Amino acid sequence: MSQFKNLSSHILQASASMVGVCVMIISIVKLLHLGLSVGRLIDKMLGLDNVLFLFSALLSYASMRTERLSYRLENLADALFMFGLIWMTAASLVLSFAIL
């Protein structure tokens, strides 16, 4: 198991929250009526991000349910979560520059 206590439960909780955040931001982008190409780009980026956070949540849940693959699943969930955060930062930068 990981040296961090209950890492999978933290990843599960945070990933599930981030799925909701992505959906909320997609809704806000729709309300802003940004340019067609920029709005689509942000939608696609956040849609992919939503899937990354969903898989991160599923893998962290699976790592808590199985003992044999727990370490590998937890590491994969952690990597997907971190990549999702980086991707969300990129999407927020695109959104910020589109608003300006």
Burial class (CB in 10 A: 0-12, 13-18, 19+), 45: buried
pLDDT at residue number 5: 58
**Are 86 and 51 a contacting pair, CB within 8 Å?**
no
Residue 1 domain-assigned? Answer: no
Q: Is residue 86 part of a domain?
A: yes
pLDDT: which is higher, 31 or 59:
59
- Place 4 in a pLDDT band, splitting at 50, 70 and 90: low
Please indicate, yes or no, whether the overall pTM of this predicted structure exceeds 0.95.
no
Position 92 in a domain: yes
Tell me, what's the pLDDT at 37? 86
Is residue 67 helix, strand or coil? coil
pLDDT category of residue 29 using cuts at 50, 70 and 90: confident
- Which range, of 46-55, 64-73, 77-86, averages the lowest pLDDT? 64-73
**Which residue type does 63 have?**
S
Question: What is the Cα–Cα distance from 8 to 66, expressed in whole angstroms?
Answer: 12
Place of tokens 């699976």: 62
* Tally of structural domains, the chain: 1
- CA angle 27/33/38 to nearest 5° reads 90
Residue 2 in domain: no
Q: Are 10 and 76 in contact (CB under 8 A)?
A: no
